[in-house]
């Protein structure tokens, strides 16, 4: 199932996340730092939603209190509520 999330406080503007049960099948991050967002997407694909949330939650970006990885964890928390 495909989910869309609009992150806040970061350079990226949208996350498009495809799930298969609790497994992240794909993540497309629109905007942001291209190399970093492609790397984050590649690293989380195929992993369990809870594992990824625990690894990414709370990561800041420079002086910002949030980051694209942190916002991805928030998106996954929202998805988790919907699939529960």
Q: What is the pLDDT of residues 8-52, one digit of tens each?
A: 999 999 999 999 999 999 999 999 999 999 999 999 999 999 999
Domain ranges of the chain: 2-83
For 53, residues 6+ apart whose C-beta sits below 8 A from its C-beta are 73, 76, 77, 80
Residue 14: its pLDDT value, please?
98
Q: What is the mean pLDDT of residues 74-79?
A: 98
CATH architecture for the domain at 2-83 = 2-Layer Sandwich (3.30)
The structure tokens 């989910």 sit at 3
- Give dist(CA 83, CA 1) in Å, integer: 10
Task: Note the pLDDT of residue 84.
Answer: 78
Closest by CA to 49, choosing from 14, 16, 20, 15, is: 20
Q: What is the C-alpha to C-alpha distance for residues 67 and 37, in angstroms, rounded to an integer?
A: 11
Q: Give the model's pLDDT for residue 57.
A: 98
Q: How many CA atoms lie within 13 A of 69 on its CB side?
A: 19
Q: Give the pLDDT confidence of 10-22 residue by residue, as tens digits.
A: 999 999 999 999 9
């Amino acid at each position: 199932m495909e989910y869309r999330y609009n992150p806040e406080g970061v350079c990226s503007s949208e996350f498009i996340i495809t799930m298969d049960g609790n497994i992240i099948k794909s993540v497309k991050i629109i905007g942001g730092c291209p190399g970093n967002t492609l790397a984050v997407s590649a690293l989380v694909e195929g992993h369990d939603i809870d594992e990824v949330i625990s690894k990414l939650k709370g990561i800041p970006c420079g002086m910002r209190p949030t980051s694209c990885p942190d916002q991805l964890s928030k998106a996954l928390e929202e998805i988790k509520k919907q699939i529960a």
